[in-house]
Structure 1
Amino acid sequence: MDIAERGEPLPVELMNTIRADRTGLHDSLATQEEALGWLSAALPPAPDRVDLDRLRLLRDALRRLAAERTGDPREAAESAVPTRGAALRVLNEACADAPTWSSLRWAPGEAPVREIRSDAPPDRVLLATLAEQAVRFLTGPEAAQLRACLAPGCVLYFVRHHPRREWCSASCGNRARVARHYRRNRGTGRLLGT
């Protein structure tokens, strides 16, 4: 799924690179190519290569922190990072892994441009940027609106921008309503029109 389609903050989009459908759980960061595709959509320009293990570990740490924040009861959504302490270590280490600084580039006849500089490799800078955005998100006002989508089979998170929003997408809302209808009417004979 394209980053812009869902419209969630970048840390939530990273959490949602684990998704589920009828065939099971899927990882959008399963291969180097998939990860680079996701990164180029999320934070262009993407590096030529990324440390997949570190990227997935950061994603799993964010999922653990989101589960803690939301009281997520979903077993299928459980993170590979076992504790909040471990998740905090992963996040904080990623933030510190690539110190950056700003510089100003201003060519004659052009507008000034801010550039981010670092002595670290580009993939580490990218992971540090993702981690820093996650810290800002988790400590900012939107974090209070972070929700786990409790539709049947869903493992995604979303930010509740509207008070009536209960699911990550319209299709999850439909699945939840169908499941609720089925539970209410199961065994009564009303499902078959009898």
Structure 2
Amino acid sequence: MSLTLDFVSTIRAERSGQVDRLADPGGLTAWARERAAGLDVDPGFTATPELWAETVRLRQAVRALFARAVAPEPPSRADADGLPGFAESLALVNARALAAPRAPQLSWDGRPALVTVPAVPAGEPERLLGALATDAVEFLASPERIRLRTCLAPRCVLYFLKEHPRQEWCSTACGNRARAARHYREHKK
């Protein structure tokens, strides 16, 4: 899964209801530590309340851009009514990507490999937000964007990449839930 899809999927639906993996600074700390290398942060990273608030704000901006990208399909039901405006979201994502730009570099440990590193000195908060914003920009500008969909299953709030022309759901479980709900609607009296 791409970092961007993983980032917007920190809001998800589970049996207990909607869950936000970034509900507080501790949630961001755990999530970022699991992805430390991709986010250019130390494995012992700890989120401050200010960075947490900025990260959640960036996530909402990326989700607003995802909502625009899947149109005319409906956006995710998780936050469709609470998303910031498109122009504001675009400006925020672009500003965050510029604040801590990343650059491709060639690494050569036995064989050549592409690595992405900070292009300018930046603190850990700027690197984290810059990595998230840059990945969102690269994803939304890539051909992958045309495969982006909103899961249509009841209660699901995820975005996913369509792998098959007839795919409507993010997972088999969501497909089963949608078919069961349709069967129930068709057969209830």
Whether the TM-score (by the shorter chain) exceeds 0.5 is yes
**1:175 maps to what in 2?**
177
Q: Pairwise mapping of residues 183-194 of structure 1 onto structure 2 (< 5 A)?
A: 183-187=185-189
Q: Pairwise mapping of residues 16-165 of structure 1 onto structure 2 (< 5 A)?
A: 16-44=9-37, 46-47=41-42, 48-50=45-47, 51-71=51-71, 72-78=74-80, 80-101=82-103, 111=110, 116-117=117-118, 118-165=120-167
Q: Distance in 1 between matches of 2:103 and 2:167?
A: 39
- Root-mean-square deviation (CA), in Å? 2.4
Relative distance call for 1:153 and 1:42 in structure 2 (3 A) is: same
For 1:144, what is the secondary structure of its paired residue? helix
Please tell me the residue identity of whatever aligns with 2:133: A
For 1:120, what is the secondary structure of its paired residue? coil
Deviations 1:119-171 (CA, angstroms, capped at 9, x unpaired): 21022112111111111110111100000001001111000122232111111
Deviations 1:167-189 (CA, angstroms, capped at 9, x unpaired): 111111111000010111111xx
Please tell me the residue identity of whatever aligns with 1:49: T
**Structure whose CA Rg is larger:** 1
Cα drift, residue 32 of structure 1: 2.4
Number of matched pairs = 177
Please tell me the residue identity of whatever aligns with 2:4: P
Deviations 1:50-99 (CA, angstroms, capped at 9, x unpaired): 31111111111111111111132554342643211111011011101113
TM-score (norm 1): 0.80
**1:190 maps to what in 2?**
none
TM-score (norm 2): 0.81
Identity within the alignment, % = 38
Deviations 1:20-76 (CA, angstroms, capped at 9, x unpaired): 234332110112232122223334263423311111111111111111111325543
Q: Is the 8 A contact 1:61 1:79 kept in 2?
A: no
Unaligned runs of 5+ in 2: none
